[in-house]
Amino acid sequence: MGSAKYFITTPIFYVNAAPHIGHHHTVVLADTLHRVHKLLAPKQHSIFSTGTDEHGLKIQQAASKANQHEVTFCAEVSGKFKDLFDSSSITYTHFTRTSDARHKKCVRHFWDKLRQGGHLYSGTYKGWYCTQDEVFLSESDTKEVPGNPGEIQKVSIESGHPVEWMEEKNYMFKLSQFQDDLLHWLRSSENIVQPSKFQKLLRQWISDGLSDLSVSRQSSRVRWGIPVPGDDTQTIYVWLDALANYLTASGYPDVGQVWPPDCHVIGKDILK
């Protein structure tokens, strides 16, 4: 509590469907921590950020199914999240929508920093892709299950959703280069992730080896998102786009940003 500001975050919530009790549970937990902190340090300025994740193929498909433009669809569903939080007297200070101009500026600047730092490269990704989860999966993350009569369907072990083999040119993030740094950080304290069993699980995941991560999609397939700066054939992958929401709330890339957050409240399913 010695820093000038206290910064607490929730995930931003995907707008492919209306809010449910799990979303509400998360923001109530964060709101409780925010209120307690304000009681303990009433003179310290605080930031409590939440918001909605509005880009990607699933949103594109959901808007099409609803016969709406993506802008209209996202505004309506995002409004439902904000109305829920407001009616519950959630004390957030920042509500970030990834479709906002401020966030897009942040993401473009972040992308340029990654590129300038040598953390991105162009490559052809080959692997199993789950459209519903918008994620590439390794062979070990998939399994075969009975499909149509006489057929075998390959699915994601985690979600159970179907996967398909895909090859496409993407930009890749050199995640593998950060394995040792991440393990060093996680070993520096037993209180980084609570409950502690999830910190042990995270250490194990990373110790098993990190692969470089595909951080763009071909815009011919995923047009609803932020174009890669200088390459309009590619759209920035929704996960990287969404992850930058914490930077947006911090004030990045402007002078005087608050970083890092003091507390992230997230669901165990997005720990990775």
What is the mean predicted confidence (pLDDT) over 81-105? 98
What's this model's pTM, rounded to 2 decimal places? 0.88
Cβ neighbours around 192 below 10 Å, total: 14
Query: What secondary structure does DSSP assign to the chain, as a single string?
Result: --SSEEEEE-PPEETTS---HHHHHHHHHHHHHHHHHHHH-TTSEEEEEEEEE--SHHHHHHHHHTT--HHHHHHHHHHHHHHHHHHTT---SEEEETTSHHHHHHHHHHHHHHHHTT-EEEEEEEEEEETTTTEEE-GGGEEEEE-STT-EEEEETTT--B-EEEEEEEEEE-GGGGHHHHHHHHHS-TTSSSSHHHHHHHHHHHHT----EE-EEETTT--SSPEETTEEEEEE-HHHHHHTHHHHHHTTTSTT---S-SEE---GGG--
Given a cut of 70, whether residue 1 has pLDDT beyond it is: no
Q: Where are the domains of the chain?
A: 1-119+237-272, 120-168
| 228-265 confidence digits (pLDDT tens) | 999 999 999 999 999 999 999 999 999 778 999 999 99
Go through 212-239 and write b for each residue having 16 or more CB atoms within 10 A of its CB, e for each that does not. Answer: bbbbbbebeebebbbbbeeeeebbbbbb
Given pLDDT bands bounded at 50, 70 and 90, which one contains residue 34? very high
Confidence at residue 3, expressed as pLDDT on a 0 to 100 scale: 59
pLDDT greater at residue 136 or residue 199: 199
> What percent of the chain stands above pLDDT 90?
81
Domain 1-119+237-272 has CATH 3.40.50.720: no
Q: Rounded to the nearest 10 degrees, what angle do helices 70-87 and 21-40 cross at?
A: 50
Residue 70 contacts residue 15 (beta carbons within 8 Å): no
**pLDDT (mean) for 199-220:** 94
> Among 30-39, 106-115, 249-258, which is the least confidently predicted range?
249-258
